[in-house]
Each structure stands twice: as C-alpha cells, then as structure tokens.
Amino acid sequence: MRAVAVKAGASSPEVVEIDAPEPDDGEALMRTLRVGIDGTDFEVLKGTHGGFPEGDDYQILGHEAVGVVEDPNGTDLEEGQLVVPTIRRPPAGSNEYFERGEPDMAPPGTYLERGIDGAHGFMSEYFTSPAEYLVPIPAAFAETGILVEPMSNTVKALEHSFSSRSVFDWNPETALVLGNGPLGLLTLAMLDSTVERSYCLGRRDRPDPTIDIIEDLEATYVDSRETPVTEFADVHEPADLVYEATGYAKHAYETVDALAPNGVGVLLGIPDDWTFEIDGGRLHRELVLENKALLGSVNSHLRHFESAKESLDRLPDWFLDRIITDVFTPEEVDQAFEGGDDRIKTVIEFGTR
Ligand code: NDP
Ligand code: ZN
C-alpha cells in the first residue's frame, strides 16, 4: 500500500510502498479516507518533535485521520463504520494513565503518539488500531471528521480552564484567541456560543482568508503588530478567557496582562527554547492579587473526542467549507506540504466513502 512517510535523514515527506498492516487481536483494520496536516507534522519532519518507531528507518506521518472500518476483526465495530483514531498509545504493556483512561495526562516519555512520537501515523491507505482507541463518527463527517482531533484538544483545554474557575461564580463574557492558524480559528468558532464578545490575534495584512473568517464569525481581528497582547486590555477590554495558539513564547506571559481579574489563560503553543526578559515580579503579583489562572494543556482523549464530535456538528457549513482549504492526493505530497497564507487546513485524501 501507499504511505506518506519521512525517511531517516530526510526532511521532506515522500510516498513509500509498504505492506498493508494486519490487525492483531482486539484491533480493527481501517481504509483511510482523509488525513489532516498541521504544524506538528512539520515539526516531525524537521526532527524537532517526537521520533521514529523503534527499529524503523522511516516514519509514517499523520495524526488527524478519518477511516472506514474495512475489517472489524471480531471487535464491536461494524464494517463500513467511520472512525477517528486517538493518538496516544501505551508503550509496551500499559501504564497507570492509560489504565484509568487519562493518557492525555501522562508525562512525556510515558506514551507513544501515532504519527508523532515512536509510532507510525495514519497517512497510509490502511491503518490498524485497537478498537478502544477508535471513536465512531457519523457518515456525514467523512470529509470534515479530520477536525475532530484538533477540536478535541480545545475541548480539553476549555474543560480545564472552566474547571479552574468552577469554585466561584464565573460567567465569561469575553474571549481572546491568540493565533489565527487552524487551531485558533476552530477555537474561535467553538467559543461562539460561550462568550458574548471574542477577539482573535494574528499578524497578517488584509486581504487574508483567516481575517475574513474571524470577521464572519463576528469576532474582532487584532493585529499584534499594532496592538501587542500587552496593550490588548487597554485598547479593547480585558478578556475573561485567553486561549494561546501561536506558539510564540512571549504570549504565555503577556496573557496575564490581557486577562481580566479572575480570568483564566490557557496555553497550547509548543515553542522552541527562547530566553527573554519579563517583569516576573509584576506578573506574579498580578496573578495573585487578581486571582488569575494560567495553565497549560496538551492532547486529549476519548471523552474530549466525543464532545468534539458534538462541537463539529454545531459548526456552520460556511465555516467548514472555508477552513479546509486544500485537498491533495498522496502523490501530490510535495504540494500538500507547501505552506502559504491562503492555506488553512490541508488534507491528504486517500479515498472516499
Ligand atoms: P499554526 O502555526 O498554523 O498557527 C499559529 C498562528 O499563530 C499562525 O497563524 C501565526 O501567524 C500566528 N502567530 C504566530 N506568532 C504570532 C504573533 N507574534 N502575533 C500574531 N500571530 C502570531 O499552528 P496551529 O494553529 O496548528 O497550532 C497552534 C499552536 O498550538 C502551535 O504551536 C501548535 O504546535 C500547538 N498545538 C498544540 C496542541 C496541544 O494539544 N497543546 C495541539 C495542536 C497544536 P502567521 O501564519 O501569519 O505566521
Ligand atoms: Zn494535529
């Protein structure tokens, strides 16, 4: 079968021909429909994130997938059922986080990640997975279901944010999303029904498709070159919730300035090392005296995927049509991995229902 993989020593992906996987006991075999590409795939290509499966000199990419069950192989799944796989797998055997159904809370080094860290991804004509890591989705999500995984990360991040404010009367009215990449835009759309006013920060000139989406969601576009995060509260209004999806490390600390008293900032970006100066004393004081919370959130698991399905169902069609901007065949892999401001979510399509 054809797979999109990166070989040892290479920094760009290619189509390789490998044997189709055979499902073990408890695993189902899926025919792949679509796999989304995101920033993490580029980090895997660069070699800055994750690593190859042990003993292999290539890694199959892809962690945002939709497949159709080809062979249930004795599991409870039915042939023809559409599924989205979760990403984390236990390393040899299991560990306590997997046993209690919270692998997203496992510390680095205690899990494998399909397509990212130590395990092959889903960018191939077929993939196998234990049935317990497959989330059934409706047939109507054949094209958009690749968004369930990124959206599940937001479900988890918002769940942790809201939990941190659940011990007092907190009714967030305003949200600031930092970043107009796919994660930021999906989150902005998901927050539409939660807050009264929302803002989304980018660093692009008009005309730009992401700014159009922000404005069509009736949110306000904030250009960080004109209004840095540190000035956001003065220029606009303090935000009850800040969701960071830029990976720009200064934003982690500037978030404290943008927050309203009692607000919560949740960080999702994954920056490289960067040393810079901050007024730590002031930020510490503000966090304490204004009861602010700052937390990090990564990955997600089954419950978040289930909830992300409901969120996906609520997103308007126009938004879904405009967020998935490019669909390529596996043979067009070079084009698929080209960047560009006109691209939001790029997808590789192996097949259709
Ligand atoms: P992208 O890289 O596609 O999006 C980041 C966006 O932030 C880009 O649109 C970029 O603008 C914008 N941006 C970066 N720096 C600035 C700045 N200084 N001012 C204004 N805008 C800025 O990534 P994704 O949307 O896929 O993901 C966002 C982040 O979240 C990444 O760091 C990713 O690694 C991480 N991530 C974390 C997950 C988790 O579970 N914690 C899950 C998935 C992703 P431009 O395009 O114009 O450069
Ligand atoms: Zn992703």
ipTM for this model: 0.99
Tell me how far the alpha carbon of residue 344 lies from the centroid of ligand 2, in angstroms: 13
Rounded to whole angstroms, how far apart are CA atoms 189 and 244?
A: 15
> Is 209 marked as binding a ligand?
no
Does ligand 1 have an atom closer than 6 angstroms to the CB of 153?
yes
Mean pLDDT of 233-259: 98
Mean pLDDT of 26-46: 96
Cα atoms in the 13 Å half-sphere on the side-chain side of 212: 11
Atom of ligand 1 nearest to the CA of 183: 25
Cα atoms in the 13 Å half-sphere on the side-chain side of 45: 18
Does ligand 1 have an atom closer than 6 angstroms to the CB of 353?
no
Among 90, 68, 86, residue whose Cα is nearest residue 77: 68
The predicted structure's pLDDT at residue 180: 98
Runs of H (alpha helix) within the chain? 39-46, 96-99, 148-164, 182-191, 209-216, 229-235, 250-258, 280-289, 302-314, 317-323, 333-336
Q: Which residues of 243-253 are buried (b: 16+ CB within 10 A; e: fewer)?
A: bbbbbbbebbb
Q: Which residues of 5-33 are buried (b: 16+ CB within 10 A; e: fewer)?
A: bbeeeeeebebeeeeebebeeebbbbbbb
Residue 186 binned pLDDT confidence (cut-offs 50, 70, 90):
very high
Atom of ligand 1 nearest to the CA of 38: 26
Tell me how far the alpha carbon of residue 7 lies from the centroid of ligand 1, in angstroms: 26
Rounded to whole angstroms, how far apart are CA atoms 93 and 98?
A: 10
Collapsing DSSP to helix, strand or coil, 92 comes out as coil
The predicted structure's pLDDT at residue 92: 82
Mean pLDDT of 143-164: 98
Question: What is the Cα Rg of the chain in Å?
Answer: 20
Top-tier CATH class for 2-137+316-349: alpha beta
Which part of the chain has CATH 3.90.180.10?
2-137+316-349
**Per-residue pLDDT tens digits for 106-126:** 999 999 999 999 999 999 999
| Minimal-distance CA residue to ligand 1 atom 12 | 179
> Is 291 marked as binding a ligand?
no
The predicted structure's pLDDT at residue 332: 98
> Is 270 marked as binding a ligand?
yes
Does ligand 1 have an atom closer than 6 angstroms to the CB of 174?
no
The Cα angle at residue 281 between residues 280 and 285, in degrees rounded to 5: 115
Provide the residue type at 327 as one letter.
V
Say if residues 243 and 178 touch (Cβ distance below 8 Å): yes
Mean pLDDT of 172-189: 98
Percent of the chain with pLDDT over 70: 100
Residue 93 binned pLDDT confidence (cut-offs 50, 70, 90):
confident
Does ligand 1 have an atom closer than 6 angstroms to the CB of 36?
no
> Is 149 marked as binding a ligand?
yes
Spatial strand order in the sheet of 88-89? 88-89, 112-114, 118-119
Tell me how far the alpha carbon of residue 41 lies from the centroid of ligand 2, in angstroms: 8
Paired tokens of 184: 């930021």
| Minimal-distance CA residue to ligand 1 atom 28 | 245
Mean pLDDT of 22-31: 98
| Minimal-distance CA residue to ligand 1 atom 33 | 269
Paired tokens of 119: 């395990």
Tell me how far the alpha carbon of residue 39 lies from the centroid of ligand 1, in angstroms: 8
> Is 182 marked as binding a ligand?
yes
The predicted structure's pLDDT at residue 94: 73
Does ligand 1 have an atom closer than 6 angstroms to the CB of 180?
yes
Cis peptide before 207 (omega within 30 of 0): yes
> Is 268 marked as binding a ligand?
yes
* Closest ligand to the CA of 244: 1
DSSP state letter for 62: -
Collapsing DSSP to helix, strand or coil, 202 comes out as strand
The predicted structure's pLDDT at residue 95: 86
Asked whether residue 60 carries a pLDDT value surpassing 90, the answer given is yes
Tell me how far the alpha carbon of residue 245 lies from the centroid of ligand 1, in angstroms: 5
Does ligand 1 have an atom closer than 6 angstroms to the CB of 320?
no
Handedness of CA 190, 346, 108, 25 (dihedral sign): positive
Q: Are strands 239-244 and 174-178 parallel, antiparallel or unpaired?
A: parallel
- Of 42-51, 162-171, 183-192, 229-238, the poorest mean pLDDT is in 42-51
Q: Quick one: fold of 152-296? A: Rossmann fold (3.40.50)
Which part of the chain has CATH 3.40.50.720?
152-296
Paired tokens of 193: 């029904």
Please tell me the pTM assigned to this model. 0.97
Count of CB atoms situated within 10 Å of the CB of 239: 28
Q: List CB contacts of 308: < 8 A, sequence separation 6 or more.
A: 147, 148, 149, 151, 152, 154, 155, 300
Residue 50 binned pLDDT confidence (cut-offs 50, 70, 90):
confident
Collapsing DSSP to helix, strand or coil, 96 comes out as helix
**Per-residue pLDDT tens digits for 265-319:** 999 999 999 999 999 999 999 999 999 999 999 999 999 999 999 999 999 999 9
Rounded to whole angstroms, how far apart are CA atoms 128 and 145?
A: 18
Rounded to whole angstroms, how far apart are CA atoms 71 and 349?
A: 20
The predicted structure's pLDDT at residue 24: 97
What average pLDDT does the structure give for the chain?
A: 97
Q: Please name the helix (run of DSSP H) or strand (run of DSSP E) that holds residue 277, with its range, or none.
A: none
